[in-house]
Amino acid sequence: MRAGALGFVAGLAALLAAPVSAQLSDAEEVMVETVADGFEDDVALLERITLINSGSHNHAGVKAVADVLAPEFAALGFDVEWIDQSAQGRAGHLFARHEGVPGTTKMLLIGHLDTVFEPGSPFTGFVREGDRAVGPGVVDDKGGIVVILAALRAMQAAGTLEGANIVVALTGDEEDAGEPLEAARRDLVEAGRWADVALGYEGLSVLDGKDAGVIARRSSGSWTLTTRAGSGHSSGIFSDHAGYGAIYEMARILDAFRRELPEENLTYNVGFMAGGTPAELGEDGLSATTSGKTNIIPSHAIARGDLRALTGEQNERVAGKMRAIVAQHLPGTEATIAIEFRYPPMAPTAGNAALLDRLNAINADLGREAMQPYPPSRRGAADISFVAPYTVGLAGMGPAGSGSHAEGESIDLRSIVRQAQRSAILISRLAREPSPQ
**Full DSSP string of 282-342:** -TTSS-EEE---TTB---EEEEEEEEB-SSHHHHHHHHHHHHHHHTSPPTTEEEEEEEEEE
Q: What pLDDT does residue 239 have?
A: 95
Tens-place pLDDT, residues 395-428:
999 999 999 999 999 999 999 999 999 999 999 9
Q: Judging by beta carbons within 10 Å of its beta carbon (0-12, 13-18, 19+), is residue 411 exposed, middle or buried? A: buried
Q: What pLDDT does residue 15 have?
A: 43
pLDDT band at 381 (very low <50, low <70, confident <90, very high): confident
Q: What pLDDT does residue 256 have?
A: 98
The highest-level CATH class for domain 220-343 is alpha beta
Tens-place pLDDT, residues 32-55:
999 999 999 999 999 999 999 999
Task: Note whether 161 and 98 are within 8 A (CB).
Answer: yes
pLDDT band at 4 (very low <50, low <70, confident <90, very high): very low
- Identical fold between 3-217+346-431 and 220-343: no
CA atoms within 13 A on the CB side of 70: 14
Question: Beta partners for 210?
Answer: 207
pLDDT band at 378 (very low <50, low <70, confident <90, very high): confident
Tens-place pLDDT, residues 315-358:
999 999 999 999 999 999 999 999 999 999 999 999 999 999 99
Task: Note whether 69 and 173 are within 8 A (CB).
Answer: no
Tens-place pLDDT, residues 149-195:
999 999 999 999 999 999 999 999 999 999 999 999 999 999 999 99
Identify the three-state secondary structure at position 239. coil
Domain ranges of the chain: 3-217+346-431, 220-343
Tens-place pLDDT, residues 66-96:
999 999 999 999 999 999 999 999 999 999 9
pLDDT band at 21 (very low <50, low <70, confident <90, very high): very low
CA distance 424 to 420: 6
Tens-place pLDDT, residues 214-228:
999 999 999 999 999
Strands, sheet with 372-373, edge to edge from the N-terminal-most edge strand: 205-207, 210-213, 372-373
Identify the three-state secondary structure at position 228. strand
pLDDT band at 20 (very low <50, low <70, confident <90, very high): very low
Concatenating the DSSP letter of every residue in 206-223 gives EETTEEEEB--B--EEEE
pLDDT band at 9 (very low <50, low <70, confident <90, very high): low
Q: What pLDDT does residue 8 have?
A: 52
Strands 410-412 and 132-134 turn out to be antiparallel
CA distance 267 to 81: 38
Radius of gyration of the chain (CA): 24
Identify the architecture of domain 3-217+346-431 in CATH.
Answer: 3-Layer(aba) Sandwich (3.40)
CA distance 182 to 417: 35
pLDDT at 237 over 70: yes
Q: What pLDDT does residue 19 have?
A: 37
Q: What pLDDT does residue 10 have?
A: 54
